[in-house]
Amino acid sequence: MAGTQTNYTGPTKIYRASQGPMPASAYTQSHGGVIYVDLTDAMKRLTVAFNVYGDEVKHRALYNAINKLGDKLLTAVRRDLVQTTGAKYGRVMKAVHADRAHPNRLFYRIVASDKAMKVSDFARSLTPGKKNPSAKPWNRSQRFKGAFVIRFKNGATEIVKRIGKHNKSGKIRTLWGPIIPKEMIRPGNPSTYHIASAIPTQLGPVLMHELEQAVIRAKAASGT
């Protein structure tokens, strides 16, 4: 089963989200940003073969198989986020990482942690004073009517908009774009498909391959 955790606070704060398999019971279901993957049938088919091997071999094979599948999914999730957010791959790489499985932790979790991105991060050019600027957040080219580009005293250049229709106070607000952790667990995100489809169908072959490799390594270590 894959579960989702979130921690959202505000546009200037750090946003966090995670997706990761938890030991559970090959049907899939997606609802409300939580992805469930039921592995009961897949594991039943592996039980007979699994019982042939010793505990040490099984343990090594299991966490290696989890990491191989997890690494494929991590690449898919990052690629999907680049497409859905319009963010540069380097930003997504930095924001999205994995807690990989090891002998004492048999699960793989994909974690995203990042601040909200500004619309100005997706603009091709930012000319101070320019009205109705264009940018491409969520990978969709848009013209932001009523907005304009401003350069602050600290040197930052952003796309902003005045607050209210008849604003006389001069108050403005920054226009915000996608938040990578929120996009990662958004219902309908392609990442949902990758996680829900890959785990049940690929677990068996990957695990059996790792079992064979673990036996080869065990024999080599013992000199038999």
pTM (predicted TM-score) = 0.74
**Same structural domain, 108 and 185:** yes
Question: Which has the minimum average pLDDT: 21-30, 43-52, 78-87, 170-179?
Answer: 21-30
d(CA 86, CA 19) in angstroms, rounded, equals: 21
Range of 53-62, 140-149, 162-171 with top mean pLDDT: 140-149
**Same structural domain, 36 and 47:** yes
Is pLDDT of 202 > 80? Answer: no
**Same structural domain, 26 and 73:** yes
Q: Model confidence at 128, in pLDDT bands (50, 70, 90)? A: very high
How many Cα atoms are found within 13 Å in the side-chain-facing hemisphere of 47? 7
State which residues form the domain around 186: 2-117+180-222
Q: Residue type at 83?
A: Q
Number of H helices and number of E strands within the chain? 5, 11
> What is the total count of domains within the chain?
2
**Same structural domain, 86 and 110:** yes
Greater model confidence, 209 or 21: 209
Greater model confidence, 6 or 164: 164
Is pLDDT of 141 > 90? Answer: yes
**Same structural domain, 64 and 153:** no
Quote the distance between the C-alpha of residue 53 and its chain's center: 34
**Same structural domain, 78 and 138:** no
**Same structural domain, 27 and 96:** yes
> Which pLDDT tens digit goes with each residue over 79-105?
999 999 999 999 999 999 888 888 777
For 140-208, give the DSSP string. Answer: --EE-TTEEEEE-TTS-EEEEEESSTT--S--EEE-B---HHHHHT-TT-HHHHHHHHHHHHHHHHHHH
Is pLDDT of 217 > 90? Answer: no
**Same structural domain, 64 and 131:** no
Greater model confidence, 38 or 192: 192
Q: Model confidence at 108, in pLDDT bands (50, 70, 90)? A: confident
**Same structural domain, 7 and 94:** yes
**Same structural domain, 128 and 35:** no
**Same structural domain, 73 and 127:** no
Position 49 scores a pLDDT of 58
**Same structural domain, 60 and 164:** no
